[in-house]
Each structure stands twice: as structure tokens, then as C-alpha cells.
Chain A
Amino acid sequence: MTWKPFEKINEHLNKMKNLKSLSLKTKVIAAVLASFVLAAILLISFAKKNIREDILSLSAKQQVSTANVAAAQLNHEFYDRLTALAVATQFFTRAMLNQPPLIQAEISRHPVLETLFNEGLYIVKADGTIISDQAREIKPFIDQASIKAVLSGQAKSIVGTPSLDQYHQAPLFLMVNAISDEQGQVIAALVGATNLAKINFIDKVTSNQYGENGEFLIVDHQHRLIVSATDKNRVMEQLPPLDKIALIDEYLASHSSSSVGLNSKGVEVLESSKLIPLAGWQFIVTLPTAEIFAPIRALNNARTMLCALIAIMLMIILSRWSLKKLFIPMTEAAQTLATWSKNPENFTQQHLKVHHHDEIGTLIKAFNQLLAINGAREAMLSASKEEYKKLAIVAQTTTNSVSITDCYGHVLWVNPAFIAFTGYSAAFMLGKKLGSFLQGAETNPDTVKIMHGAIKHHKGFNVEVVNYKKSGEKYWTHIIATPIDEDNKNSGYVSIQSDITSQKQVLASTEREHEDKEALFDSNPNPMLAISPERQVSYVNPAFCQLFKVKAKQILSIHEIELDNFIKEKCIHTDNYIATSNLAIKSDIKVGKTIASKDHALGFNLELTDGKVIARHYIDCNIPRISRIIYYNDITERILIDKMKSEFVATAAHELRTPMTMIYGYTELLKMGAGNADEKHEMLEVIYNQSNAMINLLNDMLDVARIEAQAVGLLQMKTQQIGPSLVTLAETFITSDNHNKINLHLAQNLPEVKVDIAKIEQAVKNCLSNAYKFSPKHGPIDMHVAEVMHDGQRKLLIAIEDYGIGMTPEQLARVFEKFYRANPAGAIPGTGLGMAIIKNIMDQHGGSVEIESKYKLGTKVMLYLPVADSISIDAVIKNT
């Protein structure tokens, strides 16, 4: 009996031999596992290398800074002591040197000095005598070199070399400072001794441990001697000689360094050094690299490996579990599909369950869509089978001729009705083009072209054409050919032909009638259009197109709503626009009758953007193809004239009020018997004059009204010489005082002008009358008549010039306004219409009026009339 799990593993192993048959789950897990392990290995090896370097560099930095701090502190200690010695030298004089008790007393006065040097303070005289405080036994020093250097004046102060002093039985080093007399001569040396074996100021730093196995050292690099160390046993230890150990040589050579190397015991260490400048010694920090790299070694131990193993196991279990859960919908779907395939009838009614909306969910959804499409297709297939059956019956039994051709028009099949109608047998027609035997003399070649064109581009067509039966009988047929579209490729046509011969005959006669009527409407100068029962524009006449500046085809068959929008766009005010599309077409109209709309007579006024005003009218009717007729009237002119009339009437009525006031007022006064005889006479005079003024005003008003209303065509125009008329006019012109003289200057060979001579006389008369009114009595009036070039045209000029009161530029600017009088308060009577009348007359003759005037100097009015033959001469010039 085998152990079950083992059996399972074995089974898995067997499966793994054929990788392709492995389950998706296993594949994913294997891939994840492999990448995880690979990543872990890469990470560790990479980390080891990098971390090693990083830690080393970090440790080196730490060491260097430690060395720097310690060296600085020690240097400070040396400085304090050297300064203290230098100060202390000032206490001792030459006189004191021969009296040791005095010196001893002086040293005892400064207990601080004693604490700075643990082996005491001494004075060494030039002859070598040593003086110290009383408590101390006097012994010579082994380091005579330092003392001598000071006594001989080689150095002011000095830190001596440490040495194992046999006299003092201890490792010592001295700090020596010279004592000078007043002349600056060295008379003795003050010596501070430090015992390295006792607790001393250097120990404060070096007695500390650096890390677990690291240590501090102070080395006199000149003598390769350890001055102080964490390990007290190493004090005064001689370092190996030069070139023995590279690491030691290196740090002894520089002021500050940090490097890795083997130390004197053959252990790899990281060492950093820093010079203590005052002592000339090196401060050294050293730490075995084994201690530095301890954390990296820890990475390799068994505990870490175990952790990794557990993590891998956990990962396998987790991913197996989650994958299993993820794949549940898939396996379920596969099972469902398997069950369905056993029972295909239910296949289309169901769909697979979607558990989650992840990738698998999307896959199942897509699958469901596929199933649905498949189901729909099957349903369509069975439906179209039925359809085909029915279609076949239709094609067989219809009286219309049905044919199927290939994409080039060759007959593939015809229905019995086709055979019966044309008289050709099916066998005859098969493989032939229908046109080749059906078309004849009266067949419209343009229609044939349309059909050929459509076939060439694989498009359908819908035409009416003349064809011939086998018997030679002519008939009209309506062909609807529809391309059979298979896989976006035209694979032929189905054509249905119906006999429309009788319809055509009826149509031909109505069309003639229709054309006549349309010609009638086309010639209508009023814009109009017709609306079909479908509320579409079915007809539009040229006048409409002209008014709205649009082409007929742009308007034809658009809906009435669009028509309203189109017209609205052309209007200025659209707020009150009444759309005809909103007005229902009357339904109770008898056939062939019309009903005019309520506002038909007045119409609805539209103000167009081009300044025109038009009235819109519409009539509803019950005529085939026409339900409503809309037509428009251009009433711009009428509206303008109406406006002018009412303005004119208002102003005229106002103007009449002034003379009326006078007449009314004075008559009432007379009636009441006011005033004496003279005054009464005066009043009557005023009444008479004012009545006269009123008559003049009324006449002028009538003239203006008449001239303005009169069309140019109504003038009695005649091409003539106007010289003789003007001569007569000048001679017979009579004024109230008859004192002024008219000087008429007629040029020779005056050209003829086409004028209504009565009107021109009136204009000239008005000019003369003005000239009189505004001239001082007896002032001359000049009238010149000559041919001139004016605005590039030959003109006849009649200029009337007076030397009277003239006008200011402001007055001149308003001179053509109706009822404008330059000097209304003055005594000169007038209506203010004279110039308006002159201008109207000149306008009607295609001429013009110009006025030049200078205040208090006079006025010159120039009337220009176009010369009768000027146009023909222009034409001659152009032609040559």
C-alpha cells in the first residue's frame, strides 16, 4: 500500500512529463514560483555586493568623524597644558632660581598646574639642576633631548617623545616651556611630566571601546611608538618597522586617512587616522571588518532560509487557492456547455452564468453573445425558409413580369407572366440581355443609357421605357431593378416590370394641360407657390425665386415648415411671424374649389432684410396635388408712400396753424370791436396777407403731393430747345414791386433736352421767386444757360444767381427739407416747400440741383438737365 499524498505527487510528476497537458493552474503556479526564486537569488547576491560596499563606506565615514572629534579634543587638551606652562613661566624670575624654597612656594600657589600634569611640574636650570615642589623626590628625566632643545633656545615650547623612564619607573612624556629673563635670555625650562601608566588626560579618550572588537590608538609616528591605546598593555609598544605592514605605513604617512587592510596581528581591519597637531601624534580608530560585515553574514544563516521556504510554501498555497476560485466560472461554463450539447434543442434559449465581471466574465459574456447570434440566425433561417416558399408562389402567380438576371443583365430566370406578356419563350430569353430583344425604335436612348450606367456601377434603377412584344406591339413598362447584394457584391438583379401603357396615354393628355397652366403661373409677376396635400412645396414661380434670390430646386419639395423657416430667415422681425405651416388647411372644401383665408385681402406683412415689405396671402384649395396656394405682393412702394403721406399731412397741418392763428385771432378781435379805425385796417391787412400765405402754402403742398405721386412716365416729355421758353419766362416774370432786373445769358448752340417744359418752367419760376425774396430791392438777378460737363456727362445748366442775404452753411444743409425756412421769423413770406418742389422736378428729369450760398453775399442755384443725345454719344465713344 502506497502513501496517498505520495501517490498524488507521483501522478503530478507523470503529468508534468507532458508539459502541454498540465492544468492552467499548475502552469501559473510553476511560473510564479520560478520567477520568485530567481528574483530572490538575484536580489540576495546583488544586495550582498552592494550592501557590503555601502556598509564599508558608511563605517569608514563614521570612523573618520570619530577620529576627527577625538583628535580635536586631544589637541585641545594639549593646547590647554602648553598654554598653562607658558603662563606659569612668567611667575619665575632669575632671582628666584637660586632660592629653591621660593620656587617651591610659587609652584604650590598654583595647584591647578599640578592637576594638569600627573607626574608633576619641574624647573630645570641651565646647569641641569631640577627644582620641584617639596613633596616630590627629584629624579632626572630620560628625555633630556626635549629639555636641552628648550634650554638651548631651539624651541620656545615642545612636546617630548614618550619614553620608558628608568628613573621614574614609568612611561613618561614631557611638555617643556622656556623661562626667560627680562632680556629674553633663556635661564631655565619649566617641565610638565605626564605618566602614561597612570590615569592621564589621553586616557579619557583612548580608554573607551570602539564597537565590540575595535580600539583607539595614539601613535607617535616619528618613533612608530604606541603612546596610548584602549588595550593598556599596548602602551609603549613598538610598531613593526617600515614596509612590513602597508596599512600602518599608510596611516602614519598622512594627516588623515581611512583604509582597509591587515593589521600587525594579521586581522583585516578598517582603520582611520587623524593627526593631533600640537603633539605631532596620530589618533587611530580601528575595527575588524568581520564586525562590520556581521549583518551581511546573518543573511546567509539557516533562519533566513527557513523564512524564505515558508514564504514560498505560503505563496504556492495562496495562489493555488485563488486560481481555483477564479477558474470556477470557467469550469462551470464548460460543464454547462457539455450538458447542452447533449440536448441541442434547448441550446438557444439559455445562456451561461456570469459570476464576476473580470476577464473570464467578459469571455463568458462574449460567448453568450455568440450563442444569442447563433440562435437568432437559426430563427432567421427557419423564417426565411417559409419566406422563400411564399416568394416563390408570388413570383409564379403575379401578373407582373418578373426576371432575374446576372450582374451583366443576362437572363437567369423569368416568371410565367413575363413569358405570357411578351410572347417570348423562356428558352429563348435565357442567357440573353432583355434589352436586346425588347427594345425598339421608340425606346428612349437616354433611358437605355441610364439602365446601362446603373448596371455598370452595380446599382439599381427605376425607369419607364417603351418596349416591344414578340408580336411587335409597343408597350410602356415601368421597370424596377433591384441589385441582389451578396457579400457586398452585386451578383445580379431582380427586375419587376409593370405595363403602364394606358396610364401613359392618360398622363400625356393631362401633362399637356398642366404645362399650359404652369406657363400661366410662371408668367405671373407676383411671387407665388403651391403646397401639396403632404404640405410640401410642389410649385414655385420665377417671381418668387427672384424676390427671395433662391433657385426653384432649392425650394421645391421642401416641407411647409422649412419654407416658413426659409422666409423667416429673410425677415427682420420674426417675433410675430405667423407660419402658414401652423395654419391647418381647411378640410371642408369641395373638390376643385378654393377658400381664401380670413386675412386674405390684407395679407400678412413681412419686412425683409433687404428693406422690402411684402404682403403674404394664402388660399386653401381642394385640387389634386395642391392644397394651398401662397402668394406675395411687393408693397414696399405703397408702405413708403403711405409713410411719406402721413408725415407730409402732419407737417402741413402744423404749418397751416400759424396763418390760421392770425386769421382766427384778428377776426375775433374785429368781431368784438377792438381797436380804432387804423388798427382795424391793420388787422384786416394781416388777415388778408395771412389768407394769401395760406393759399400759397396750399398750392405748394398740392404741387409737392402731385409731383411726388406722379410717375415719371406721366410727364409730358419732349425733346426740345428750352432757350425760347426761358426767354419768355424771364420777360414775363412779374413780382409785387417789379423792380428787380433779370439778366438772362443764353449760350449759343444750346443742345436739346428731353423735358416736360411746364415742370421745368415751374422749377425755374420757383428759383427766380426765391432769388427775389432774398435780394435787397433793385438787386440784379443773373440767369445763365449753357452746356457743361457735369459728373462726366454732358448737361444743360440753368444757373440763377442773386446777391441777397445768402445762407449760413447750417441753413444751406437743410434747404431741401420740406417746410424748412432759413429765416422763419423774418418778414419774407414763404412756405418752405419751394426747394423741395424744385428738387422733385429735377429728380424726375434725371437731373440735379446744387446750391452755393454765402451768408450776406448771395445765393446761386444750379439746375442740371441731361442733354438728350448724351447717351447716344457715349455709346459712339465706346464703340470707337
Chain B
Amino acid sequence: MKKILVIDDNAEIRKLIKVSVGTKYIVTEAISAVDASLRLEDDKPDLILLDIMMPGVNGLDWCKLIRRWYEYSDIKIILISALIQQNEIIEGLQAGANGYITKPFSPTHLLSEIERVLNEQIV
């Protein structure tokens, strides 16, 4: 089973995601970007579900940071955010994310998006 790391400051959202995808993937949780950075070293996931609006380092900045580290460059990242404006989505993808899901989201859509991103070939 592939591993997914969920990074969100809201426990309820983390739980919802775990319930939604927990049957198909191994889900680990992080409550902040700093927390996630520490977890990455122990247990490298295949995909990260990343909230943008978090206290401290925000998701977008963290995404850009991760993309600069060679050893993590193959990790897929999907941003999950309440920011739904076109320019906000474009900014998110430019930060190096492979996908972008807006809140509120459908668990089915989340699953299919995760699948799509994981099967995406690196060109």
C-alpha cells in the first residue's frame, strides 16, 4: 500500500481525509509544516495532501521548499484549500503541486485525484 501524509492544522479535516482514503492507503498525519518536515525523514510518503492556510509556515511556501530538495522531488503533492480563485489555483500549481482540490471536497473526487496523481508519469 502506498503512503499518504496529510498535513492540516484542523484535526476534523485530517480525520475526514483518513476516513475517506484510509481503506486504500496508509495515512499518516502532521499538524503543521514543521511537524511534516520532521516526519519526512523517518517515513517518506508517496503523496502529500497539503492544506495551504496553516499557522506558521503556510502550505504554499512549504511546497516550494520541498520541491528544492532532491531526495523529495519524487513525492507527489496535492494542495487542499479553501482558496478557490483561479489565480490562487494557478499559484498553487506553480509552487510545484501535482494537483489542487478546493474545499468543500467530495471524498470520491479526492480518491480519484490521488489515483491520477500517483499514476502520473514523470516526464
Contact = CB atoms under 8 A, between A and B. Distances in A.
A665 B10 contact: no
Contacts of B12: 658, 662, 686, 690
B72 interface: no
A657 interface: yes
Interface string A373-409: 0000000000000000000000000000000000000
Interface stretch (A599-607, A666-674, A842-850): A666-674
A668 B108 contact: yes
A657 B10 contact: no
A449 interface: no
A832 B81 CA distance: 19
B19 A657 contact: no
A229 B83 CA distance: 129
Nearest to B109: A668
Interface string B76-116: 00000011000000000000000000011111100000000
B108 A824 contact: no
Interface residues on B, range: 10 to 19
B16 A825 contact: no
A425 interface: no
B13 A661 contact: yes
A658 B103 contact: yes
B11 A675 contact: no
Nearest to B17: A665
B71 to A, nearest CB: 29
B75 interface: no
B20 interface: yes
Contacts of B104: 657, 660-665
A654 interface: yes
Nearest to B108: A668
B106 A825 contact: no
Contacts of A657: 82, 103-104
Nearest to A650: B85
Given A657-B82, A658-B103, A672-B108, A666 B11 contact: no
A661 B20 CA distance: 12
A668 B55 CA distance: 29
B29 to A, nearest CB: 12
A411 interface: no
Nearest to B32: A825
Nearest to A653: B82
A674 B15 CA distance: 14
Interface string B5-44: 0000111110110011000000000010000000000000
A824 B20 contact: no
B117 to A, nearest CB: 19
Contacts of B20: 665, 669
A679 interface: yes
Given A824-B10, A824-B55, A825-B9, A661 B19 contact: no
A861 interface: no
A683 interface: yes
Nearest to A675: B19
Interface in A824-840: 824-825, 827
Contacts, number: 58
Contacts of B15: 686
Contact of A669 (B11, B19, B103): B19
Nearest to A660: B104
Nearest to A825: B9
A660 to B, nearest CB: 4
Contacts of A660: 103-104
Contacts of A825: 9-11, 31, 55
A83 B10 CA distance: 125
Given A661-B16, A672-B108, A654 B11 contact: no
Contacts of A690: 12
A658 B19 contact: no
A683 B107 CA distance: 13
Nearest to A683: B19
Interface in A661-715: 661-666, 668-669, 672, 674-675, 679, 683, 686, 690
A827 B11 CA distance: 8
Contacts of A668: 106-108
Nearest to B55: A824
B13 A662 contact: yes
B111 to A, nearest CB: 11
B107 A665 contact: yes
A658 B16 contact: no
A664 B107 CA distance: 9
A661 B108 contact: no
B10 to A, nearest CB: 6
B25 to A, nearest CB: 15
B107 A658 contact: no
A686 B13 CA distance: 11
B106 A664 contact: yes
Contacts of A661: 13, 16, 103-105
A384 B24 CA distance: 116
A665 B82 contact: no
13 contacts: A658-B82, A658-B103, A661-B104, A663-B104, A664-B104, A665-B16, A665-B106, A666-B16, A668-B107, A674-B19, A686-B12, A686-B16, A690-B12
Given A661-B16, A661-B103, A666-B16, 12 more contacts: A657-B104, A658-B12, A661-B13, A661-B104, A662-B16, A665-B107, A668-B108, A669-B20, A672-B108, A674-B19, A675-B19, A686-B15
